[in-house]
């Protein structure tokens, strides 16, 4: 009894003083941890410099071949040896139950300026590819805003950005994959060769169909800056209508901006951001704002200042692409409530953000359960014409702001036939005269309002209700985050038809985990959510 009381008081103290704890312990430790990780990666690259890409891939093939020779009783499912804490997923897949294969592939292999493609190994990060491409006048067609995300992780998971209203999800920018299969063969996978069925299933597969050892991505020509226009909106109808128009969702001939996003600050207050590649002359130089300097306000806080009156500015391209990195969108505010204070930014802003890898590395079972129960991290892809209902539902269930909205094309590549885990959008939702529909990512991150106010909150109820809404409107939950669906509900949200056929053709059954088993939470989210809700109500 006494121990339980002490534990409860300790948890409450940590909750009330979480910012202080993170500043005093987590930020310095995270900084040192990241230095170690960067040194290890640098060392790995130095050691691998004496080998070719083909030799490194052959080493992976050899390990898969050795696995295939094991007795059936010793053949555990295959997975990469990359530690869970290095991924950006909120879950902790139990790799101890798998046969782990190291994938030490960290190089940019080639740049094809004629065909506008870049070929990379899968562990290249977003930050690294930005530093490689931007000085040469290019960037990826789809560039995630978090610098530590790997290009391979995005390829087998999912990614989108503010350019996605022009090109679609990250998978639409992939020209080819280089994959080691369960048989130990290395194959090149494109949308038009004999492996086209696999091409459409590799996105959203999360490493359940093979090992990714290389990929070729489309790039776009760019200018050094992004000209930003900030458009304040003061009603829900206003921002829902404007984003439909600006994204080209109602007319394929609409001249759309290079970058487009919305940050919603409450149900009736939002800022639409319209960005275009630009050069800067001497007259415009005064309007340049490098938003990534550590002493600058967090980007979403900076954008909020345009609610009263719109405005414009120029942001250096790399800083624009990584504009949300310092605050991990707005997640850091939940960790360090005073993190955007000018004094904190001036003296300690350079330590932010705490590295996701460090936070995961130090996560205990108890911390994992408490974090899951008291925070929400969800990205959900849904039809843009349901944006009003999306916001209403998210606010009702989670009562947290801001909300992120990125318009994004979802294509019908096969005339309605199975095309991977994402179904072709219904014909009624296609933009007239095209083979795509305009969807959007709704990003919900942070601490639910009920938790902030210490009111009853049932994360199980909230997330299952959000997932049901998503299924009802024909949307999809990003699988990096906790899911609460049963396997039957999962198969209702995602189209597993082609995926199951591909697993048979490429002998994945028994060799790789199934998708649902790979992405479902390692903890009993239903039970923990219900237990937490009961505690709140007592």
3-state secondary structure 360-422: HHCCCHHHHHHHHHHCEEEEEEEEHHHHHHHHHHHHHHHCCCCEEEEEEEEECCCCCCCCCCC
Domain ranges of the chain: 55-221, 225-365, 376-484+521-532
Which class does domain 376-484+521-532 fall in?
alpha beta
CA atoms within 13 A on the CB side of 60: 27
User: Which residues, including other chains, have CB under 8 Å from residue 118's CB and lie 6 or more apart?
Assistant: 108, 110, 111, 112, 129, 132, 133, 138, 140, 216, 217, 219
pLDDT at residue 15, rounded to an integer: 56
Please identify every stretch of the chain with a pLDDT value under 70, giving residue numbers as ranges: 1-19, 360-369, 523, 532-538
Q: What DSSP state is assigned to residue 431?
A: P
Q: How far is CA 13 from CA 7, 9, 19, in A?
A: 10, 6, 11
Q: Which helix (H) or strand (E) holds 132?
A: helix 126-133
Cα angle at 474 between 237 and 480, to 5 degrees? 100
**Taking the model in full, what pTM does it have?**
0.91
User: Residue 354's pLDDT is what?
Assistant: 84
Rounded distance between C-alpha atoms, residue 198 and residue 202, angstroms: 6
Domains 55-221 and 376-484+521-532 share a fold: no
In order of 156, 309, 341, the CA distances from 177 in angstroms are 10, 46, 45
In whole angstroms, give the CA distance from residue 538 to residue 49.
60
Give the single-character DSSP code of 26: I
User: What SS3 class is residue 41?
Assistant: helix
Tokens linked to 181: 């299969």
Q: What is the pLDDT of residue 3?
A: 63
Structure confidence at residue 424 (pLDDT):
95
Nearest to 167 by CA among 92, 259, 246, 305: 259
What 8-state DSSP symbol labels residue 289? -
Strands 174-180 and 138-140: unpaired
Domain 55-221 has CATH 3.40.640.10: no
* Element housing 170 (H / E): none
């Amino acid at each position: 009894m006494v121990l339980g009381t002490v534990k409860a008081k300790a948890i409450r103290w940590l909750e009330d003083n979480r910012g202080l704890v993170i500043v005093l312990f987590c930020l310095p430790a995270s900084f040192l941890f990241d230095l170690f990780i960067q040194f290890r990666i640098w060392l790995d690259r130095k050691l691998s410099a004496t080998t070719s890409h083909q030799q490194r891939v052959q080493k992976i093939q050899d390990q898969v071949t050795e696995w295939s020779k094991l007795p059936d009783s010793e053949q555990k499912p295959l997975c990469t040896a990359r530690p869970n804490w290095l991924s950006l997923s909120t879950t902790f897949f139990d790799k101890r139950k798998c046969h782990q294969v190291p994938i030490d592939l960290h190089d940019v292999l080639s740049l094809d300026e004629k065909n506008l493609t870049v070929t990379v190994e899968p562990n290249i990060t977003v930050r690294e590819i930005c530093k490689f491409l931007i000085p040469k006048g290019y960037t990826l067609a789809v560039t995630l805003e978090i610098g530590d995300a790997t290009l391979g992780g995005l390829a087998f998971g999912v990614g989108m950005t503010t350019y996605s209203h022009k090109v679609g999800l990250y998978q639409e920018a992939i020209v080819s994959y280089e994959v080691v299969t369960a048989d130990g063969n290395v194959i090149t996978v494109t949308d038009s060769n004999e492996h086209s069925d696999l091409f459409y299933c590799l996105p959203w597969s999360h490493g359940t169909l093979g090992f990714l050892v290389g990929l070729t991505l489309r790039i776009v020509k760019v200018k050094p800056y992004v000209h930003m226009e900030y458009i304040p909106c003061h009603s829900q109808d206003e921002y829902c209508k404007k984003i439909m128009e600006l994204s080209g969702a109602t007319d394929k001939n609409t001249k759309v901006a290079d970058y487009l996003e919305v940050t919603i600050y409450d149900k009736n207050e939002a800022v639409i951001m319209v960005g275009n590649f630009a050069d800067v002359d001497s007259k415009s130089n005064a309007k340049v704002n490098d938003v990534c300097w550590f002493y600058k306000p967090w980007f979403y806080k900076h954008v909020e200042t345009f609610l009263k009156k719109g405005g414009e500015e120029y942001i250096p391209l790399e800083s624009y692409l990584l504009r949300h990195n310092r605050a991990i969108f707005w997640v850091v505010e939940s960790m360090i409530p005073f993190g955007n204070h000018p004094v904190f930014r001036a003296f300690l802003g350079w330590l932010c953000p705490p590295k996701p890898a460090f936070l995961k590395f130090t996560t205990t079972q108890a911390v994992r359960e408490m974090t899951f129960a008291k925070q929400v991290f969800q990205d959900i892809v849904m039809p843009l014409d349901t944006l009003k209902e999306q916001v209403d539902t998210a606010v009702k269930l989670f009562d947290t702001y801001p909300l992120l909205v990125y318009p994004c094309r979802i294509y019908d590549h096969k005339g309605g036939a199975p095309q991977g885990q994402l179904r072709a959008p219904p014909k009624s939702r296609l933009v007239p005269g095209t083979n795509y529909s305009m969807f959007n990512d709704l990003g919900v991150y942070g601490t639910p309002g009920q938790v902030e106010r210490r009111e009853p909150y049932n994360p199980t109820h909230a997330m299952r209700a959000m997932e049901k809404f998503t299924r009802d409107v024909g949307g999809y939950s990003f699988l990096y985050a906790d899911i609460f669906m049963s396997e039957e509900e999962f198969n209702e949200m995602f189209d597993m038809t082609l995926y199951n056929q591909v697993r048979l053709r490429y002998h994945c059954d028994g060799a790789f985990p199934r998708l649902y088993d790979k992405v479902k939470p390692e903890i009993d989210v239903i039970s923990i959510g219900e237990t937490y809700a009961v505690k709140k109500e007592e």
